[in-house]
């Protein structure tokens, strides 16, 4: 699948974005909108003012960044974790619970506890599909997606039931203690320290993948499980398990950071699908953690611009969802095109000249 790799990755990313822009412009035009006005509105909404950039674009980029890292590290190991959404909700639930129940604790204990609980909960949520994959051979693509529905609906149940705010009016939890809240990163803006935490995670993850033994094993298993086993004597199962848990923890942290930094409470529909968009964020970054910072900000800008586009150009914000989907398609298509051009058509058959059997005629 898609992997890291210097200049090619940049070319793929840039080409994919260009293709997305062209297709989106055509679609808008067909839909009867003015693409130029849409672009201008988006730009002003995302980057137009310092306030727009810091308080909207960057704030929106935080969940993309953390879930994007979750997807990137999993995909690097060949673990197709599509479950960042559910893991995010698991993290959010844990964060809210700790943030409320630990109200008596000082901030220097409570705040780390909230974030750690969120990470642990995400990892635990990922442990279920991980064990199903390793012990039972059940494909993680299906199980992680299904776990998303469980996580989303479990959160919905909690905010209508056991964790609903005391008055029982709104479908949300009560607010977490002040000591559990992330301070502002830029005074006077909505940007919270969670952004810095997320960027730090990206740097740590990049360093781990590049310079540690564990990171090397992750890359080897992701690039070629057979060679990792035969030449590297790497226990792929252990690597897959550890990576799955790390991925879940990052996604859970995304939920925790959103609670502790922005909403201070859990409510139904907390995430509009960040865990899914994260796949586009990670792929566009060629699964490179540092590049995920850039693509997450880009997606944050898209979300920020969507509102402005609706207000100023009268284009429904839902168009942005289409654009995000186009990015995924464009990245996959461009990547495949590059491969085909670079390597040429693959010949069938293995080293012995055995050919694969003809497909059954139907």
Partner 1 sequence: MTPVLASLRGLVRRFGSVTALAGANLEVFGGEVHGVLGENGAGKSTLLGVLGGVVRPEEGELEISGQPVELRGPRDAWRHGVGLVHQHFTLVPSLTVLENLSLGRDAGASGFALPQTRVRPAAERMMARTGLSVPLDELVEDLGVGDRQRVEILKALLREPPILVLDEPTAVLTPAEVDSLFDLLRELARQGRAVVLVAHKIEEVLAVADRVTVLRRGRTVLTSERGGVDPHRLVRAMVGEDAATQTAVGLGAATGGVVGEASGGLLAGEVVATLDGVRANRASGAAALVDVSLQIRRGEVVGVAGVEGNGQRELALLLTGRLSPPAGVATVPDGVGFIPQDRTVEGIVGEFDLVENMALALHDDPDAGRGMWLDWPWIRQEAEAVRSRFGVVAPDVGARAEGLSGGNQQRLVVGRELRRARDLLVAENPTRGLDVAATAFVHAEIGRITSVEGGPGVVLLSTDLDEVLALSTRLLVMTGGRLLEVPEGSRTREGIGRLMLGGLQPDV
Containing H/E element for 128?
A: helix 107-136
Alpha-carbon distances, residue 10 vs 157, 206, 232, 279, 332 (angstroms)? 43, 17, 30, 17, 14
Smaller CB distance to partner 1: residue 135 or 361? 361
CB of 242 to partner 1, least distance (A): 13
Q: What is the spatial distance between Cα 84 and Cα 200, in angstroms, rounded to a whole number?
A: 19
Residues that bind partner 1 (rule: CB under 8 A) add up to a total of 37
Q: What is the spatial distance between Cα 123 and Cα 70, in angstroms, rounded to a whole number?
A: 11
Smaller CB distance to partner 1: residue 135 or 213? 213
User: With CB under 8 A as the contact rule, which of the stretches 107-115, 189-197, 301-309, 353-361 interacts with partner 1?
Assistant: 353-361
Cα 86–chain centre separation: 11
- The reply on whether position 30 binds partner 1 by CB under 8 A is no
Smaller CB distance to partner 1: residue 2 or 125? 2
Q: What are phi and psi of 131, to 5 degrees?
A: -65, -35
- The reply on whether position 220 binds partner 1 by CB under 8 A is yes
- The reply on whether position 214 binds partner 1 by CB under 8 A is yes
Q: Are 113 and 277 in contact (CB under 8 A)?
A: no
Which of 223, 317, 321, 322 is the binder for partner 1 (CB under 8 A)? 223
- The reply on whether position 229 binds partner 1 by CB under 8 A is yes
Helix (H, G, I), strand (E, B) or coil at 172: strand
Which of 30, 108, 162, 358 is the binder for partner 1 (CB under 8 A)? 358
CB of 236 to partner 1, least distance (A): 12
Which of 47, 224, 263, 294 is the binder for partner 1 (CB under 8 A)? 224
Containing H/E element for 73?
A: helix 59-76
CB atoms within 10 A of CB 191: 23
Q: What is the spatial distance between Cα 284 and Cα 282, in angstroms, rounded to a whole number?
A: 6
Which of 226, 238, 273, 316 is the binder for partner 1 (CB under 8 A)? 226
- The reply on whether position 108 binds partner 1 by CB under 8 A is no
- The reply on whether position 355 binds partner 1 by CB under 8 A is yes
- The reply on whether position 316 binds partner 1 by CB under 8 A is no
User: With CB under 8 A as the contact rule, which of the stretches 172-180, 229-237, 252-260, 282-290 interacts with partner 1?
Assistant: 229-237
Which residues, 6 or more positions from 220, have their beta carbon under 8 angstroms from its beta carbon?
Answer: 227, 228, 232, 234
Q: What is the spatial distance between Cα 357 and Cα 173, in angstroms, rounded to a whole number?
A: 58
Which of 106, 135, 211, 344 is the binder for partner 1 (CB under 8 A)? 211
Q: 264 — alpha (psi -120 to 50), left (phi > 0) or beta?
A: left
Query: Per-residue contact track with partner 1, 328 to 347, x per CB under 8 A?
Result: -------------------x
CB of 237 to partner 1, least distance (A): 14
Which of 60, 76, 133, 217 is the binder for partner 1 (CB under 8 A)? 217
Residue 280 tokens read as 């586009």
Which residues in this chain contact partner 1 in the complex, by CB under 8 A? 3, 5, 211-214, 216-217, 219-220, 223-224, 226-234, 347-362
């Amino acid at each position: 699948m898609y992997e890291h790799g210097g200049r090619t990755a940049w070319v793929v990313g840039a080409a994919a974005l260009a293709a997305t822009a062209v297709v989106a412009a055509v679609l808008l035009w067909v839909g009867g909108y003015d693409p130029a006005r849409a672009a201008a509105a988006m730009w002003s909404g995302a980057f137009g003012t310092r306030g727009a950039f810091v308080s909207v674009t960057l704030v929106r980029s935080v969940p993309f960044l953390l879930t994007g890292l979750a997807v990137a590290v999993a995909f690097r190991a060949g673990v197709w974790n599509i479950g960042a959404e559910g893991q995010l909700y698991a993290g959010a639930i844990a964060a809210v619970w700790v943030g409320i129940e630990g109200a008596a604790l000082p901030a220097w204990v409570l705040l780390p506890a909230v974030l750690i609980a969120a990470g642990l909960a995400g990892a635990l949520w990922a442990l279920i599909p991980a064990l199903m994959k390793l012990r039972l051979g059940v494909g993680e693509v299906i199980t992680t997606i299904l776990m998303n529905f469980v996580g989303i609906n479990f959160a919905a149940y909690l905010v209508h039931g056991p964790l609903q705010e005391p008055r029982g009016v709104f479908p949300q939890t009560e607010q977490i203690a002040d000591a559990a809240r992330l301070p502002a990163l830029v005074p006077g803006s909505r940007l919270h320290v969670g952004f810095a935490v997320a960027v730090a995670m990206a740097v740590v993850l990049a360093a781990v993948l590049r310079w540690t033994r564990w990171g090397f094993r992750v890359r080897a298993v992701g690039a070629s499980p057979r060679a990792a086993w035969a030449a590297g004597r790497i226990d792929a199962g252990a690597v897959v398990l550890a990576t799955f848990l790390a991925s879940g923890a990052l996604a859970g942290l995304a939920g925790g950071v959103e609670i502790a930094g922005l909403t201070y409470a859990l409510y139904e529909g907390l995430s509009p699908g960040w865990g899914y968009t994260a796949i586009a964020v990670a792929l566009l970054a060629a699964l490179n953690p540092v590049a995920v910072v850039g693509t997450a900000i880009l997606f944050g800008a898209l979300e920020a611009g969507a509102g402005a586009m609706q207000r100023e150009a009268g284009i429904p914000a839902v168009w942005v969802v289409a654009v995000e989907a186009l990015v995924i398609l464009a990245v996959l298509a461009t990547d495949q095109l590059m491969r085909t051009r670079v390597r040429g058509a693959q010949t069938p058959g293995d080293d012995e000249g055995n050919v694969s059997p003809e497909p059954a005629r139907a």
